[in-house]
Amino acid sequence: MGEKVLMKGAEAIAEAAIRAGCMAFFGYPITPQNETPEYFSRRMPELGRVFLQAESEVAAINMVYGAACTGTRVITTSSSPGISLMQEGFSYIANSNVGCVVVNAMRGGPGLGDIAPAQADYFQATKGGGHGDYHSIVLAPHTIQETVDLMYDAFDLADKYRIMVVMLVDGLMGQMMEPVEFKEWVDVKKFKTPEWATVGQGDRDHRNIITSLEILPEGLEKMNLALQAKYKKIKENEVRLEEYEMDDAEYALTAFGTVARIAKTVVEMARKDGIKLGLIRPITVWPFPEKEVAKRADQVKFFFDVEMNEGQMLEDVKLAVNGKKPVHYYGRLGGVVPTAEEIYGEFKKLVGGK
């Protein structure tokens, strides 16, 4: 670990990706994350790596797809409307079993929406978005430091499982500044081209073919089953979460990303008033920490889910709790960030009498 530097989230994302060994960036600009491509555009050529601003998001994601087929560490970054345009490519990438990292700095929607921070792309990120039965690993950091640290893991996971990894952040995390420390550079000289990569036949006795196409339904079913087997393995091995002040908690907040950070202040406010409130913060929102949330259903009186959307992760919380305890919800829409005071006020209404 080096010295702490004060950095904007959007720039720290780019620096972390570069240090993690990202060799190519393809993208198309969109607020509130333009500082990320801007940073890449300066640093990547300096390092002899690829920066390319495509003519559209559709082109960008297909360039990512192409680079991923060569086993190269590749990234694109965008924000909600731009991410919508990429969905077809995501689906192709999924069924081609290639790895890449995609950052979504979510903004208010639907439609062109606004440029304020939001979390309304949770469904899109965790339940597919593109067509077909597929998943991406979705990481939801809540501070810039965590985003930076997870970026290394994002590339490792993408390589390990040959899967797309989404870094689900929001405009607030992109725009705010915080001191961050970067881990050591990943030594890219040690990267080996995987044997499945489509980089020319060379001395191999066969051609490598990567495709998401299979005309025969039985064949395609087999491909699907293989995908599902991979997802099962990921679910068993890669779930991550933080449980904050949960040991003795009588009530549990559930939140991810920026809202989880605000929720920590809510927990502190409640604890000051002698109320035993804790926070369950999924770090992987896919795979969702089902078992861990379910376990807490025996302990707490109710769950209180808070999001900057109309209650999207709420559905996963409810599925995990499976009716054992009430799951309440509070949220703000369209790019409005709830304050800790506001959330605590809503929580106290639920607790009642006290």
Partner 1 sequence: MEKKLVIAGFGGQGVMLAGELLAEAAKDEGKFVTFLPSYGPEMRGGTANCDVIVSDKPIASPVIAHPQAAIIMNLPSLDKFEPLMEKDGLLILNKTLIPREVKRTDLRVLQIDAQTVARELGNEKATNMILLGAYAEIEKPVKLESLKNALKHFLTGKKEVLIPLNEKALEKGAEIAREFLGGK
Site residues (vs partner 1, CB under 8 A): 4-6, 31-32, 115, 172, 175-179, 261-262, 264-265, 268, 337, 339-342
- Cis peptide leading into residue 287 (ω within 30°): yes
The secondary structure element, H or E, covering residue 166 is strand 164-170
The answer to whether the CB of 307 falls within 8 A of the CB of 119 is yes
- Which lies closer to partner 1 via its Cβ, residue 19 or residue 261? 261
Please, what is the minimum distance in Å from the beta carbon of residue 11 to partner 1?
13
- Which lies closer to partner 1 via its Cβ, residue 172 or residue 234? 172
Give bridge partners of residue 164 from the DSSP assignment: 100
Token pair for residue 55? 């003519």
Token pair for residue 219? 């064949």
DSSP 265-292: HHHHHHHHTT--EEEEEESEEES--HHH
Question: Maximum Cα–Cα distance for the chain, whole Å?
Answer: 76
Please, what is the minimum distance in Å from the beta carbon of residue 3 to partner 1?
10
The answer to whether the CB of 336 falls within 8 A of the CB of 116 is yes
- Which lies closer to partner 1 via its Cβ, residue 179 or residue 219? 179
Please, what is the minimum distance in Å from the beta carbon of residue 214 to partner 1?
46
The secondary structure element, H or E, covering residue 106 is strand 100-106
Burial class (CB in 10 A: 0-12, 13-18, 19+), 344: buried
- Which lies closer to partner 1 via its Cβ, residue 305 or residue 316? 305
Please, what is the minimum distance in Å from the beta carbon of residue 36 to partner 1?
15
- Which lies closer to partner 1 via its Cβ, residue 103 or residue 343? 343
- Which lies closer to partner 1 via its Cβ, residue 137 or residue 280? 280
Terminal-residue alpha carbon distance, the chain: 46
Other beta carbons less than 10 A from residue 326's beta carbon: 13
Rounded Cα gap, residues 352 and 52, in angstroms: 56
Please, what is the minimum distance in Å from the beta carbon of residue 262 to partner 1?
4
Please, what is the minimum distance in Å from the beta carbon of residue 284 to partner 1?
21
- Which lies closer to partner 1 via its Cβ, residue 162 or residue 261? 261
Token pair for residue 244? 């904050």
Please, what is the minimum distance in Å from the beta carbon of residue 279 to partner 1?
10
